[in-house]
Amino acid sequence: MMEKQALPASSCSLVLLEETKKSPITLSNGGGGSGYAPAAANGSLVPLTVAGTGVAGGVVGTACVGQDKKGGVVNGAGPGYQERETWTRQMDFIMSCVGFAVGLGNVWRFPYLCYKNGGGVFLIPYLLIVFVGGIPIFFLEISLGQFMKAGSINVWNIAPLFKGLGYASMVIVFFCNTYYIMVLAWGFYYLIKSFTATLPWSSCNNEWNTPSCIEIFHHQDCKNASFANITIGSSNMTCADLADARSPIIEFWENKVLNISSGLDEPGKMNWELILCLMAVWVLVYFCVWKGVKSTGKIVYFTATFPYVVLIILLVRGVTLPGAYDGIMYYIKPNWSKLEEAQVWIDAGTQIFFSYAIGLGALTALGSYNRFNNDCYKDAFILALINSGTSFFAGFVVFSILGFMAAEQGVDISQVAESGPGLAFIAYPKAVSLMPVAPLWAALFFFMLLLLGLDSQFVGVEGFVTGILDLFPGKHYHRYKREIAVAICCLLCFIIDLSMVTQGGMYVFQLFDYYSASGMTLLWQAFWECIVVAWVYGADRFMDDVARMIGYRPFPWMKWCWSFITPCVCIGIFLFHLVNYKPLTYNNVYVYPWWGEVIGWCLALSSMLCIPVSLLYKLFRAKGTFKEVNKTGGRGRSWTKPSAVTTWRRGVEVLQGPLMDWTFDSDVLTQGEI
C-alpha cells in the first residue's frame, strides 16, 4: 500500500477526523464478532494509531510524521508530546501487579482472619466476594488504564463530571505511601539487628529491659493455685507476679524500637536510628522508581519472586518444628457455625479490597503502560489467583511457626495468634528466637518482609507520580521532569514520616492506618467506580471498549457485577462499618483523645469528599440550565467522552484511542476551537 505524503500534525489530525466521519466503524452494544476490527496474526486486535499505518474496518490510519519548528520529528500526538512508555515485555506488568497487590497483608492479615473466622470455612465468603467484588473491580481498573492510556486522574475523562474519583485515589495512595513505608523502616531496623550472635530481643540483659522482663514464663508450673507464691525459674518472680511480666521481644519493640510515650499528646524526641533506616528505605524507593516502568519492570522480578523462595524455606523449616501440626490444624479446621455471623462476611470483603489494592489508582497506572491489545481480562484472573493463593499459602507458614511458639510456651494457639505489626514484630521474632541458628532465620524473615513491602511501596509511588505527571502534558516538558517529580514526592512523604519516628510516632501511624486508607475509604471509592463506569459511561459501552482491545467480549458477569452486584456489596459492607464504628485504641488500652479522632476523620474525609465536592464544583461552574449542563457540560460537549478518546491540545484534535465507534456532536467543532 502506498503511503500518503507526510503532513503536519494539525493536518494529520483533521484528515483522520474527516476519514473517520466518512467511514465510521460502529459496534452494537449487543456485541458479536462482526462489529470488531479484524485481528492480527496472533489473534489480537490491530488498533489504529495516529503514528504508523494500519487498516481496521476499512479506515486507514496514515503515518503523520513531520518536522516541528525546531526540526524534530513529531507524531500524531502533536508537537512536543512524547509517546507513553510501555512495558518492555508483558511479564513486567504481571510481576509489577504481583509485587504491588501481594504485600504484607497477605502474610500478616489473611492467616489471622482465616483462623479467627472459622478456619477453612472462611474461604467460602472469601472466594464468593473475590468473584463478585475483587476480580470485577480489579479488572475494571486495569482495563480502564489500558484503554485510556492515562493515570488515575485522567482516566476519568470518560466522565469528567466525576473526575473527583481520580483525585480521591491520589489522596488515598499518597497517604498509603506516607505511612506504609514505616513498616519497611521497622523491618530494615530488625534486619540490621539480626546480624548478631545473639538476637537482642531474645534476652532480658539489655539496657531497655525492665525488672518485669522474663524470658520463659513457666505457665505449666503455675497451674496449681497452691503454688501461687513460689519463686519460678531464675527470675525471682512468683506466680502472682507472672500476670504483669513482659517478654523481652515486647520490651524490645516498645522500649527500644518505638520508645513509646504515654499518648498522642506526648510526641517526645526522635529516634535517630529509625530516621536513618527511614532515609535509607526512601532512597532505595527513589532509585527504583525514578526512571519509570522500564526500570521498575526489571526490579520487580526479584522483589516479587524472592519472597516466595523465603516463604518456601520457612515452611519447610516450620513443619519440622514441634507443635507445627497443631498450629496448621487451628488454621484450617472448619467451624461451620461462623458462617452465620455477619462479621465473618465483612472481614472477607474488607480483606479482598485491601489485598487486591483496589481504589488506590496504582493498578490503573500500571495498566496504562500496557500495549493496547493486551489481554487484560485474562491477566485479571491470573493475578487474582496468585494474590489469593499467596494469602492461603502464607497461612501455613505463619501458623506452623505459631504452633511451635504455643507449644514452647505451653499456652493455647489463641494467645499467640496475632495480626498486623503484632505478628511481624512480636510473635514471629519471638518464634525465630526459639529456633536453632536464630539469627539466620530472623534475617531471612525480615528480608522477606522488606521485599514484600518494597515492591508495594515503589509501585504505589509510581502510581502517584504517573497521575501527577499526566496533569502536566508535553507543553510542560522537561528533560528531568519525572526524576524531579519522584524526588519531590519522596521528600514530602519523608518529612511527614518524621512525625512517626518520634516517641509518639506509633499513635500517628495508627491514625493513618485506621482512617486514611481504611476499609470505608476503599469501599466508598470502589462503589463510585462501579457506578460511574456502569451507569454514567455505560456498562455495555465499556464492554465494547474492552472488546476492541482484547478481541472478544468478556463474559456478561462482569457487566452484571459493575452494574448491580459489586455496588451492593460495597455499600453493604460500608454501612456495616459505619454502624459498628468503634473509636481507635492502642493495644486495647489507650483510647485516643477526641481531637485525635477528629484528625483521623479529616484524613478519611479528605479523599471521600473529593468526589461530591468535585461534582458540585463542575456543576456550579458550568453555564446553562441543569438539563443543558447535564447534557453538554455548558461547553457544547458531553460529560461522557466518546469511545475513541480525544484531547484538545494547542487547538488540534489528537486521537489517542482506536478510531472506532466515534460520534460527533454538531457543536463540537466550533469556530475558535480549531
Q: Which residue numbers belong to the known binding site?
A: 99, 101-102, 106, 355, 387, 452, 455-456
Give the closest residue to 596 by CA, choosing from 237, 153, 267, 359: 267
Question: How many other β-carbons are positioned within 10 Å of the β-carbon of residue 571?
Answer: 16
Q: For residue 246, what are the CA distances in angstroms to 207, 213, 234?
A: 15, 5, 15
Distance, first Cα to last Cα, the chain: 31
| Residues 194, 186: Cα–Cα separation, whole Å | 12
Give the closest residue to 13 by CA, choosing from 558, 656, 475, 655: 655
Give the closest residue to 522 by CA, choosing from 604, 641, 643, 416: 604
**Which three three-digit cell numbers place residue 313?**
524455606
The residues, ordered by sequence, that sit 6+ positions from 16 with a Cβ below 8 Å of its Cβ are 50, 61, 62, 64, 76, 655, 659
Question: How many other β-carbons are positioned within 10 Å of the β-carbon of residue 548?
Answer: 26
Give the closest residue to 126 by CA, choosing from 455, 353, 286: 353
Give the closest residue to 466 by CA, choosing from 168, 89, 152, 163: 152
DSSP alpha helix (H) spans, 2-134: 9-22, 90-101, 104-108, 110-116, 123-129
| Residues 634, 617: Cα–Cα separation, whole Å | 13
Q: Which amino acid, residue 120?
A: G
Give the closest residue to 635 by CA, choosing from 588, 664, 673, 583: 673
| Residues 9, 377: Cα–Cα separation, whole Å | 34
DSSP alpha helix (H) spans, 66-219: 90-101, 104-108, 110-116, 123-129, 135-148, 164-193
CB-based burial label for 34 (10 Å; 0-12, 13-18, 19+): exposed
Question: How many other β-carbons are positioned within 10 Å of the β-carbon of residue 240?
Answer: 11
Helix (H, G, I), strand (E, B) or coil at 653: strand
Binding site, annotated residues for Na(+): 99, 101-102, 106, 355, 387, 452, 455-456
Burial 157-174 (b: 16+ CB within 10 A, else e): bbbbbbbbbbbbbbbbbb
| Residues 135, 140: Cα–Cα separation, whole Å | 8
Helix (H, G, I), strand (E, B) or coil at 66: strand
